[in-house]
Amino acid sequence: IFNKCICFDEIDSTQRAIKKLAREGREAGIVVLAEAQTDGRGRMGRSWQSVGGRNLTFSVLLRPALLPGEVQLLNLAAGLALKNALREECGVAAELKWPNDVLCRGRKLCGILSESAGEAERIYYAVTGIGVNVNMEPGEIPQELRGSATSLLIESGKSWPRWRILTAFLGRFAALLELLSSGGGAEALLELYRAGCDTLGREIKVICDDGSVTGTASGVTAQGAIIVKTREGEKTFAAADVVHLRA
Ligand code: BTN
């Protein structure tokens, strides 16, 4: 489905650009790519920084047949597609941390953000935005993120044509979206996600609005929420930050 790409040298946020195109009624599958973002956005309203020309920064317009509570499935599909693309295309073994962080040696390589607009019973459109640290040298990682962020160059020892990562990702993401909209639906996607997610079975700390909870990640629900076995019983979190406590 990803057959149209609009590229900007600089834009406020590719996420915002896609939302505008969606409101204008444009078709699903458009990709907006930017060399640099002046106001990149991350999860939970955080800002997202990237070094112009070194990273892959893009968003895609989707019109999936999902309910608003199922949008998390897009994050899971995107995270899995990227993890598989990095392994198969670059030989880099990345970890997939629920819901959608792709890490190497515990450091973040990629951020994914899916947002949607619609009503209770259907969504009009969804936007999935991805930022991958591709060719950032160690010294280009912002000071405050050293220790918590990495790049494909740092992990593989070489630089990568960004189009290769983009096309490898888009092909795999399209296949997973197809699976999601086909007969197997969310369960078929979730089966693959559960097998590829490195959070499951681990001791984790979940940081949410009400504080933090520690336990063992034991499952992912049909809506993509995480199930955690805690001392007080099983708890489910639809959205939260997760920390992997040990291997
Ligand atoms: C996160 O918080 O981990 C998600 C970060 C998502 C960043 C990407 S970069 C492309 C797209 N445009 C944005 O403004 N955000 C997303």
Q: Could you read off the pLDDT of 143-201 as tens digits, one per residue? A: 888 889 999 999 999 999 999 999 999 999 999 999 999 877 899 999 999 999 999 99
Residue 128 DSSP label: E
Cα of 109 vs centre of ligand 1, distance in Å, is: 12
Q: From the centroid of its chain, how far is CA 42?
A: 10
Q: Which atom of ligand 1 is nearest to the CA of 111?
A: 3
Cα(138)–Cα(145) distance, rounded to whole angstroms?
11
What is the percentage of the chain residues whose pLDDT exceeds 90?
86
Mean pLDDT value of segment 62-80: 95
What ipTM does this complex have? Answer: 0.99
Cα(159)–Cα(8) distance, rounded to whole angstroms?
22
Pair of tokens at residue 110: 């990629």
**Contacts of residue 220, Cβ cutoff 8 Å, sequence gap at least 6:** 76, 98, 190, 193, 194, 197, 200, 226, 227
Look at the block and give the residue holding tokens 């949008």.
Answer: 71
Ligand 1 pocket, Cβ-based, cut-off 6 angstroms: 13-15, 37, 40-43, 46, 48, 57-59, 111-113, 129-131
pLDDT tens sequence across 23-55? 999 999 999 999 999 999 998 888 998 877 899
What is the reported pLDDT for 120? Answer: 87
Mutate which of 31, 47, 48 for ligand 1? The one with the most ligand atoms within 8 Å of its CB, which is: 48
Cα of 130 vs centre of ligand 1, distance in Å, is: 5
What is the reported pLDDT for 53? Answer: 85
Domains of the chain, CATH where assigned = 4-196 (3.30.930.10), 203-244 (2.30.30.100)
What is the reported pLDDT for 146? Answer: 87
